[in-house]
Amino acid sequence: MSARGELPTWVDVGLIPLINLVLALLISGLVVVIIGENPFQALGIMLHGALGSLKGWSYMFYYATNFIFTGLAVAVAFHAGLFNIGGDGQAYVAGLGAATPGLILGGALAAILPAGISQPITLFVALMGSILFGAFWAFVPGYLQAKRGSHIVITTIMFNFIASSLMVYLINNVFRPITSMAVESKAINDAYILNFREIGRLIGMKLPSSPLNPVVFLAFIAAFIIWYLLWRTKLGYELRAVGANSEAAIYAGIKPSRIIMIAMAISGGLAGLVAFNEILGVQHRLLLDFVGGAGFVGIAVALMGRSHPLGIVLSALLFGLLYQGGTELSFAIQSISRDMIVVIQGLVILFMGALEDAFRPSLTALFFKVEE
Amino acid sequence: MTPAIELIGIDKRFGAVHANNDVSLSIAKSSIHGIIGENGAGKSTLMSILFGFYAADKGEIKVQGKTVKVNSSTDAIALGIGMVHQHFMLVDPFTVLENVILGAEGGALIGPALAKARAELKRLADEYELDVDPDAIVGELPVGLQQRVEILKALYKGADVLILDEPTGVLTPDEADHLFRILQQLRNQGKTVILITHKLREIMAITDHVSVMRRGEMVATKETAKTSLEELAELMVGRRVLMHVEKGAAHPGEVVLDVKNLVWRDRKGTPRVDGVSFQVRKGEIVGIAGVSGNGQSELLDVITGIAKATSGTVLFEGEDITDLNDPSILRRRGMAHVPEDRQHRGLITSFSAAESAILGWQNDAGLGRSYHLNRNAVIERCRKQMEEFDVRPADPLLKSSKFSGGNQQKLILAREIGSNPDLLIVGQPTRGVDIGAIEFIHKRLIHLRDMGKAILLVSVELDEIRSLSDRILVMFAGRVMGERGPDADERELGLLMAGVVKDAA
Amino acid sequence: MDLSIFLEILSSTMRMSVPLILACLAGLWSERSGIVDIGLEGKMLAGAFAAAAAASYFQSPWMGLFFAIIISLLMSLVHGYASITQRGNQVVSGVAINMLAAGLTVVIGNSWYKQGGRTPALDDLTRFMPIDFPGRASLFSIPVFGPISKIFLDHSILTYLAFAMVPLSAWALAKTRFGLRLRAVGENPHAVDTAGISVARLRYQAVIIAGILCGIAGTYLSTSLSAGFVRDMTAGRGYLALTALIFSNWRAWPALYACLLFGFLQAIANFLQGVHFFGLEIPVQFFNALPYVMTVILLAGFIGKSVPPRASGIPYTKDR
């Protein structure tokens, strides 16, 4: 008994995102045409680059790992009615929490404990550090919104820039070995996460080289935990209630200011996991701009995935595909830059986020016409 | 003499609601014409049509005898019609002058218009007692003066006909008196004033003619001098068949809710609840009658811990809960609350029925241990409530927005009554609810009373109040005007609701 | 710190402030009408690219300016369509605009010029150069007075245009019918609508002005401050302008001061690797972060108060 004018769920979560994606790809294709290349050939190269080899798949999942984290981060905030643009800054600052244990604790523990014990401890501390530092960098804007009325969008933007300056300073002046010219910390050698290629080598399997590492499982686990949090806990219920209707939430005895701070902390913690993946799983050192805009990709991922963890995993994989395919594409066709993905990302955000309802009316009309 | 305004056969529907049904009205030049009616009688819709905010489905508008088309407020303004909305249409950070010239700047630069408006305002101030400092920032003015700015805006734009929608709702008595003097001056100078109100006193005090609307229809137009408060009250309320609710005598027990001298002021400092005192006992239903917007909503918010009292006390089962301000604690102590606005508060329309059915009770131990929310328990609870309250369709997973108003309301009642509270606070239990559901809801409330629970009922439906309550309080302008028994005369209650206390002695 | 460096910093402050002032005024016009504009950065970036590309192609900075304005305007209209006509989320739309610009400029630049997103270097004839007036060289060589006058006189026409926009904007907002209505629509669109004025039309006009100003800002970046476009050359200036806007409480003259202050901080950061202050070294990043830190503190209401136009960010619907 769906009321007239309301679309069935499959249209809402399936068809509309699909149409938006197709539209974004069409316009991107148009850009490809404008720069004088064949869009179908380009699409073919992209798909082949990501799906045509195990290496392509590995990279796709590697990119998706970060995007799942940031997509979830944006989604948790969305569910509480907040727009966290600060994922980049939160992940960046979380780099401190990720790197410091490995740099300091790792060596100290390794000296007194066997590697089998010292490494897991160090990694666990680094994991907590990533989450806590990311959470803190989001909690402060949450606090300022909840208690001082500062607008979360503006504050998180400000915090991105503050994070950037702070990290440049710290990496340059604190983490960089005095003798080194490169602006990065010394390598974390005592405790890091082996990537799949290295793990494969240990067990005698030959895997393609890629940065993909077991943190990808953590991403799937995080998606499950967030799903559980949102739909199977009392806190998740309260969080969604505040986002859906804060007046009703107040009626229900829920304090929106408390929920805002909690939601932002969770959101920042998730973004912080990008640092865990990048620093301990990939780079093994703290370096400049290791986040690489993943926080902003998270906005597109969350919008595309309709803020549902399953949708986010799927759309993160899609963006992983685009990133990997786009990289291959830029190798194959020199005139198409990898930044093509950023264009697609922008278009997805525009269509899914800002023009969400642009063709909903006509789609609704069409849908009911067909049904009648 | 040609009437200033003629409305002929105006018809307007909003979906299923017939807001104006073949309404005709003629308003004489240089007169004050009142339009009265209960909430939802169609007064505001009619005036919005005249002012070009809505297009009528059918009907004709004549201004000064000429048929006109009013497609927008621009047209209305050009025809010499001005409107003072219930919610002021002012730009708060602007000065009075800037507000006045907005839309009538007369050129690309505003300098000349400001100078002209300054002179004009001075003239109007002298002529109509409409003095306001032209350089004051509007947002910093008290509401009475803001309203004056609205009137000045209309007059500056050359309004001959001035519509005022519930103008005294936000005014103090002194400010209201001043407004009436202004309106009389305006009429004496040849302007026509249309006054929309539900306050009979005002109608009797200053109008020349009065039209009564009821349920979208124009019921009567009278010369004010030749009618009486009683007649108008009756026309407004209508002779309705009293809904019959089976109920025995009440057996009030001990006091559950004790409200003493409660005051709540809004951000501007206006007291919206103004020294209210009453008690509710076990085994009785206390009804609060009144036209909406007279402080009932605010009263409920303060009692249920949503809003903070300015002064006074609220005792619940003997304990002072005035400064508790925590709806969840109150709920756990046995105070259930069916809010007035079910769409915006009572449930979350984007949630499933099962999720809406635990709103406010989400931390119940029965719904899962510690942090966990057991989905099956949530659905099961909802299924039981749906069965007991006959909610249709009985599908706990259906989105809350997809239930009819009556079924949404039953869902909320089931949730609140289902918790077996000592006190049930219920606002507008049957607003927008079909007849069948009304009957059902009424029976449940009586049943709850007979189980010895205390019930505080707020409703703008006088019938409902009369058929359910054991005692009736009437609220007007934030105050309790009086208490009556369930068999009180309908007309008398109508007068109290319009702010008229007969037995002032 | 010797005097010549100080004068250099002041001169640089002027140059650094120009794009900030233009973008900040763009934000001012847009937001005073009630349309939040996170997309200043993207519009400026697209403008900078268009300016460099067109200036190089047509061998004329003026053609560069023209195309920068056209491109920036188009992006503004996309934002306007999403925000005004479709009543979409203005912040999301702005974020999208920024990404589109960041991506498209590099994709197209790379395909056209194959220099990693750069445009060909512009020579002096195709740039907006400091205005050459008679006696310029001899004026600047006068001791003391020369270097000081150089701070103010050694600039291109765009600089003076930017500075002239401040009083012009302040005047237009305060004294014209258009300004009055625009301010009103950002505070209470219902009041404007009942006065018989089209809310959408006003807001589109505001968004168009924002587009034009961002186009000029972009032109300045790639044809005056630098000699060509490089990827991400706005480097957060759009956001910094937004910060200045908040800092100025959405008013034109204070916006100028905020932009000069922020430009000064940028100039310091560029010229010095750090400042010694009573023996304490203040790192250069401190100056980069300072505007944002100050704004966070301001927004939180710890010092003064910053109140955005009341209706900003809220799509207008007729029914209340």
Chains that touch A (3 or more CB pairs under 8 A): B, C
Interface test with B, best of C32, C168, C180, C202 (most B CBs within 10 A): C180
**DSSP-based three-state secondary structure for B267:** coil
Compute CA A82 distance to the chain's CA centroid, rounded to the nearest angstrom: 16
What are chain B's partners, defined as 3 or more CB pairs within 8 angstroms? A, C
Average pLDDT over chain A reads: 90
Q: Are B362 and A1 a contacting pair at CB < 8 A?
A: no
User: Nearest Cβ partner of A248 from B329, B348, B375?
Assistant: B348
User: pLDDT digit string (tens) for B306-318?
Assistant: 999 999 999 999 9
Q: Is the pLDDT of residue C272 over 90?
A: no
Cα angle for residues B242, B248, B249 (degrees, 5° grid): 105
- B5-237 and B244-334+422-505 share one CATH topology? yes
Q: How many residues are there in chain B?
A: 505
Strand B58-63 vs strand B5-14: parallel, antiparallel, or unpaired? antiparallel
Which tens digits make up the pLDDT trace of B347-382? 999 999 999 999 999 988 889 888 999 999 999 999
Listed in sequence order, the residues at least 6 apart from B467 whose beta carbon sits closer than 8 Å to its beta carbon are B242, B243, B244, B245, B442
For A18-32, A285-299, C76-90, which range has the lowest pLDDT when averaged over its residues? A18-32
The pair of structure tokens assigned to B280 is 């509710």
List the beta strands (DSSP E) in B85-181: 161-165
Q: Any idea which of A153-157, B233-237, C25-29 has the lowest mean pLDDT?
A: B233-237
Are residues B458 and B288 in contact, defined by beta-carbon separation less than 8 angstroms? yes
Q: Residue C136 above 80 pLDDT?
A: yes
Q: Which amino acid is at B458?
A: V
pLDDT at B244: 65
CATH code, B5-237: 3.40.50.300
Q: Can you tell me the distance from the alpha carbon of C179 to that of B453, in angstroms, rounded to the nearest whole number?
A: 61
Number of CB pairs < 8 Å for A and B? Answer: 76
State the ipTM, two decimals. Answer: 0.90
Residues of chain C found within 8 Å of residue B102, distances taken between Cβ atoms: 180-181, 184, 191-192, 195, 197
pLDDT at residue B86 tops 60: yes
- Cβ–Cβ < 8 Å for C18, C233: no
On whether any CB of chain C is under 8 Å from the CB of A296, the answer is yes
Spacing of C-alpha C135 from chain mean position: 32
pLDDT the model gives residue A355: 84
Q: What is the pLDDT of residue B501?
A: 79
Q: Check pLDDT > 60 for residue A3.
A: no
Q: What is the mean pLDDT of chain C?
A: 91
pLDDT of residue B177: 86
Task: Say if CB A303 and CB A72 are below 8 A apart.
Answer: no
| CB-CB under 8 Å, B90 with C195 | no
Query: Cβ B345–A2 below 8 Å, yes or no?
Result: no
Q: What is the pLDDT of residue C244?
A: 94
| Residue B214 bridge partners (DSSP) | B217
- Sort A348 into a burial class: Cβ within 10 Å, 0-12 / 13-18 / 19+: buried
For the ranges A95-109, A212-226, A272-286, the lowest mean pLDDT is seen at A95-109
Q: Give the integer Cα–Cα distance in Å for B362 and B368.
A: 9
Higher pLDDT among residues C168 and A108, named by residue: C168
- Return the CATH fold of B244-334+422-505: Rossmann fold (3.40.50)
pLDDT of the residue at A1: 32
SS (H, E, C) B95-111: EHHHHHHCCCCCCCECH
On whether any CB of chain B is under 8 Å from the CB of C187, the answer is: yes
DSSP-assigned letters across all residues of A280-329:
IIIISS-BTTTTTTHHHHHHHHHHHTTT-HHHHHHHHHHHHHHHHHHHHH
Residue A70 to residue B144: CA distance in whole angstroms: 52
Rounded to 10 degrees, what is the CA torsion of B431, B437, B438, B441? -100
Among B370, B332, B33, B64, residue whose Cα is nearest residue B195: B33
Read off the pLDDT of residues A330-361 as tens digits, 9 standing for 90 and up. Answer: 899 888 888 888 999 899 889 888 887 676 77
Specify the higher pLDDT residue, B38 or C92.
C92
Give the minimum alpha-carbon distance from C193 to chain A in angstroms, rounded to a whole number: 23
Give the closest residue to C291 by CA, choosing from C310, C311, C268.
C268
Mean pLDDT of chain B: 89
Closest-CA distance, A151 to chain C, in angstroms, reads 8
Query: Which residue of B70, B91, B163 to mutate against C (max C Cβ within 10 Å)?
Result: B91
Length of chain A as a residue count: 372
Question: How far apart are the CA of A155 and the nearest CA of chain C, in angstroms?
Answer: 6
CA atoms within 13 A on the CB side of B336: 24
Mean pLDDT of B94-103: 95
Q: Where are the domains of chain B?
A: 5-237, 244-334+422-505, 348-420
Kindly report which listed range (A248-257, B273-282, C293-302) carries the lowest average pLDDT score.
C293-302
- HEC string of chain C equals CCHHHHHHHHHHHHHHHHHHHHHHHHHHHHHHCCCCCCCHHHHHHHHHHHHHHHHHHHCCHHHHHHHHHHHHHHHHHHHHHHHHHCCCCHHHHHHHHHHHHHHHHHHHHHHHHCCCCCCCCCCHHHCCCCCCCCCHHHHHHCCCHHHHHHHHHCCCHHHHHHHHHHHHHHHHHHHEHHHHHHHHHHHCHHHHHHCCCCHHHHHHHHHHHHHHHHHHHHHHHHHHHCCCCCCCCCCCHHHHHHHHHHHCCCCHHHHHHHHHHHHHHHHHHHHCCEEEECCEEEEHHHHHHHHHHHHHHHHCCCCCCCCCCCCCCCCCCCCC
Beta bridge partners of B164: B84, B195
Burial of A172 (0-12, 13-18, 19+ CB in 10 A): middle
Please say if the pLDDT value at position A154 is more than 70. yes
Q: Which amino acid is at A150?
A: S
Interface test with C, best of B47, B74, B102, B344 (most C CBs within 10 A): B102
Q: Tell me the Cα Rg of chain A.
A: 22
- Percent over 70 (pLDDT), chain A: 95
Q: Is C195 on the interface with B (CB under 8 A)?
A: yes
Of residues B503 and A66, more confidence is placed in A66
Question: What share of chain B has pLDDT > 70, as a percent?
Answer: 98
What pLDDT does B240 receive?
55
Rounded CA separation C101/C111 (Å): 15
C-alpha triplet A200, A58, C107: angle, nearest 5°: 150
C-alpha distances (whole Å) from A223 to each of A72, A230, A236, C168 are 7, 11, 14, 53
Closest by alpha carbon to C219, among C76, C1, C22?
Answer: C22
- Which residue out of C185, C194, C198, C320 would a mutagenesis test of the B interface target, given it has the greatest number of B Cβ atoms within 10 Å? C194
Can you give the pLDDT at residue C275? 63
Contact C191 B72 (CB under 8 A): no
The confidence score (pLDDT) of residue C284 equals 84
Average pLDDT of span C48-62: 96
In the prediction, which pLDDT does B242 show? 52
Question: Average pLDDT, stretch B173-185?
Answer: 87
- In angstroms, what separates the C-alpha of C96 from chain B's closest C-alpha? 27
Q: Are the beta carbons of C175 and B110 separated by less than 8 Å?
A: yes
Q: What is the CA radius of gyration of chain C?
A: 20
The CATH class for the domain spanning C3-121+153-299 reads: mainly alpha
**The tokens of C65 are what?**
């300016």
Q: What is the pLDDT of residue B345?
A: 92
- Looking at residue A88, what is its pLDDT? 96
- DSSP-assigned beta bridge partners for residue B12: B20
Residue contact A234–B363, C-beta within 8 A: yes
Lowest average pLDDT, out of A88-97, B240-249, B406-415, B478-487, goes to B240-249
What pLDDT is attached to residue A368? Answer: 66
Token digits of residue C315: 């799509």
- Rounded CA separation C239/C247 (Å): 12
B450 in Cβ contact with B250 (< 8 Å):
no
Beta bridge partners of B32: B193
Contacts (Cβ under 8 Å, ≥6 apart) of B346:
A248, A251, B338, B339, B359, B408, B409, B412
Residues paired with residue A279 on neighbouring β-strands, in sequence order: none
**The two structure tokens encoding residue B336:** 């259930």
Closest by Cβ to B347, choosing from A240, A248, A253: A248
pLDDT of residue A2: 35
Closest to B415 (Cα-Cα) out of B345, B326, B470:
B345
Phi, psi of B385 (to 5 degrees): -65, -40
Rounded to an integer, the average pLDDT of C125-132 is 91
CA gap A107, A254 in Å, rounded? 46
Q: What is the model's pLDDT at position A369?
A: 64
Whether omega before A120 lies within 30 degrees of 0, making that bond cis, reads no
pTM of the model: 0.89
Q: How confident is the model at residue A4 (pLDDT cuts 50, 70, 90)?
A: very low
- Residue C104 vs residues A341, A350, B242, C112, C228: alpha-carbon distances, Å: 10, 14, 71, 12, 16
Asked whether residue B80 carries a pLDDT value surpassing 80, the answer given is yes
Average pLDDT, integer, range C11-38? 96
Give the pLDDT score at A6. 62
More confident residue, B170 or C134: C134
d(CA C107, CA C104) in angstroms, rounded, equals 5
Lowest mean pLDDT among C7-11, C225-229, C237-241: C7-11
pLDDT at residue C1 in the model: 53
Question: Quick one: pLDDT at residue B504?
Answer: 45
Q: At a CB cut-off of 8 Å and minimum separation 6, what does B447 contact?
A: none
Task: Name which of A12-21, B47-56, B263-272 the model is least confident about.
Answer: A12-21
Q: What is the pLDDT of residues B448-475, one digit of tens each?
A: 999 999 999 999 888 889 889 999 999 9
Q: Mean pLDDT across the stretch B341-349?
A: 90
The pLDDT, as a whole number, for residue C41 is 96
Please name which of B481, B458, B412, B409 lies closest in space to residue B438, comparing C-alpha atoms.
B409
**A25 CB within 8 Å of a chain C CB:** no
Q: Is the separation of the CB atoms in B367 and B361 below 8 Å?
A: yes
What lies within 8 Å, CB to CB, of A258 at 6+ separation is A146
Q: Looking at the predicted structure, is the pLDDT value of residue C105 above 90? A: yes
**CA A111 → CA A118, A194, A285, C134, distances in Å?**
9, 20, 20, 75
List of chain A residues whose C-beta atoms are within 8 Å of the C-beta of residue B393: 1
**Mean pLDDT on A299-303:** 93
Residues of C within 8 A of A344 (CB-CB) are: 103
Query: How many CB atoms neighbour CB B395 within 10 A?
Result: 18
